[in-house]
Structure 1
């Protein structure tokens, strides 16, 4: 039987973590696991998680560099599942997400599901996250405008194996890296049906303003970031091809 691991990176998430966790536990199977990597929260996040008293939940603490990427990497090093879901601490899984993604991962190596964008009270702002950036696969496309968002992604252990460790460069988001690795080594699928309430609030890492509008970073830094991404992808492709030949 296929085992699934759901990874959540938490930090001071007491406001929404209970609602998110419940939506996940309602979906997953009894033999699956929820891996929580906490970045040393100073609020009641861990107490709330412990109150669930669910054996599927496993809590670890991020001992590495503080931050979103390191926290998720810590979670991913702990997974036992054949299939891995990434999810944020403040979103809500919609019914059917689990079964749909698991079914699609039987023929794809990585799946990205659509989501409904909401405000912090779950009032819908946009019915389709995909419609904002015309989400889809493609290395050039996503280097220009990334549509690989971790909270909507799930993949198999092959993708996990080749993705870790993440590049030690803050210009490369861990989710776009996983997406590109999956494109290079296997098959990626974007599912247009929304299976997530993608909550935007003051505490989220990706703010609504940056989500809906163009980045205000100077053009030099935008170009530099894309060059760094492409260089790292090219190096990965060369290493992967050499490994396949051996």
Structure 2
């Protein structure tokens, strides 16, 4: 049985998936299997990955397009290992990613979630996320409280995390009824039940310029998560309430930028505004036109290597 199962959800990533696979086969820790789950790609993605298929790298096909959550769930159900990691088909691992995760597993026995820091690639620029990792020294490893720490950009993303299979058995699989922020929905359940061991070393590259990342496309046609269903978890845990309000803020702002004021108000109605900072409160009150200008300005600056945030 391999030590790690690595799952690659694949849908129309012909221009990127080869480099993604190469970043896995270049790992210094080599006891792994790779499961590429093809979600009915319509481009040349399958042709790009077929030469890599071997005893160690499997290609599994969906009969119809099911979405990211279902694709990840298929990988989990077919994984042979006790430890499951994910890498989207347009992202990259540093050669020592699995080695770093293996070290976290060995050194943090009470954890069942293991994650590293990451970097963002914007065309020809590499930027660090504004995710709170600046509060840790470089290469520092520690148990962290996900809900207290994760009030900016993600302290990890789904290409820089590994889960023990017990997490899926206890927290459940990815919700196939939503197709936006499904990672966040799963993270809430996973981190409520299990401890997180974290390495501040940058072990993953998140490509922001691809079709599914740096975009101004609307989310109004997406099935969004309902954070209200997790309110019962906040009764004896204030940090979860603050985290849920932060994610509601992000979702409310996004839907307002997309032009749906009623949906934005519905989402924000569950927010305890004491849990937001002054910048976040102001942004939610701004008219759509001004909020859209700020958002487009932010995208322009990011493309030129400058980042600012309301976090």
Q: Post-superposition shift, 1:216? A: 2.9
CA–CA distance in 1 between the matches of 2:96 and 2:45? 27
Structure number with higher relative contact order (C-alpha < 8 Å, ≥ 6 residues apart): 1
Residue 214 (structure 2) aligned to one of 207, 211, 221 = 207
Matched, 1:216 2:261: no
Q: Post-superposition shift, 1:147? A: 4.5
Q: Which residue of 1 aligns with 2:69?
A: 69
CA–CA distance in 1 between the matches of 2:81 and 2:265? 41
Q: Post-superposition shift, 1:157? A: 1.1
Q: Post-superposition shift, 1:32? A: 1.8
**Alignment map for 1:52-67 (pairs within 5 Å):** 52-63=52-63, 66-67=66-67
Q: Which residue of 2 aligns with 1:83?
A: 83
Moved over 4 A (4+): 28-31, 140-148, 224-227
Assess, with a 3 A threshold, how the Cα gap between structure 1 residues 202 and 91 changes in structure 2: closer, same or farther: closer
For residues 42-72 of structure 1, what are the alpha-carbon distances to aligned partners after superposition, in whole Å with 9 as ceiling and x for unaligned?
A: 1111111111243211111234662222221
For residues 98-126 of structure 1, what are the alpha-carbon distances to aligned partners after superposition, in whole Å with 9 as ceiling and x for unaligned?
A: 11111212322112211111124xx3331
CA–CA distance in 2 between the matches of 1:101 and 1:89? 20
CA–CA distance in 1 between the matches of 2:4 and 2:86? 11
SS of the equivalent of 1:33 reads strand
CA–CA distance in 2 between the matches of 1:152 and 1:2? 19
Moved more, 61-70 or 98-107: 61-70
Q: Post-superposition shift, 1:76? A: 1.5
Q: Report if the CA contact (8 A) 2:2-2:33 is conserved.
A: no
Q: Which residue of 2 aligns with 1:32?
A: 32
Assess, with a 3 A threshold, how the Cα gap between structure 1 residues 12 and 226 changes in structure 2: closer, same or farther: farther
SS of the equivalent of 1:80 reads coil
Q: Report if the CA contact (8 A) 1:172-1:225 is conserved.
A: no
TM-score, length-normalised on structure 1? Answer: 0.75
Matched, 1:197 2:205: yes
Matched, 1:177 2:185: yes
Assess, with a 3 A threshold, how the Cα gap between structure 1 residues 209 and 100 changes in structure 2: closer, same or farther: farther
Q: Post-superposition shift, 1:144? A: 8.3
Q: Which residue of 2 aligns with 1:114?
A: 117
Residue 166 (structure 2) aligned to one of 133, 155, 158 = 158
Q: Report if the CA contact (8 A) 1:148-1:179 is conserved.
A: no
CA–CA distance in 2 between the matches of 1:167 and 1:225? 22
CA–CA distance in 1 between the matches of 2:86 and 2:27? 14
CA–CA distance in 2 between the matches of 1:94 and 1:188? 21
Q: Which residue of 1 aligns with 2:228?
A: none
Q: Which entry has the higher C-alpha Rg, 1 or 2? A: 2
TM-score, length-normalised on structure 2? Answer: 0.61
After superposition, the CA RMSD in angstroms is 3.0
For residues 143-202 of structure 1, what are the alpha-carbon distances to aligned partners after superposition, in whole Å with 9 as ceiling and x for unaligned?
A: 886555211211111112223333354277332234333322221023211101111124
Unaligned 5+ residue runs, structure 2?
134-143, 218-249, 257-263, 273-311
Aligned residues: 218
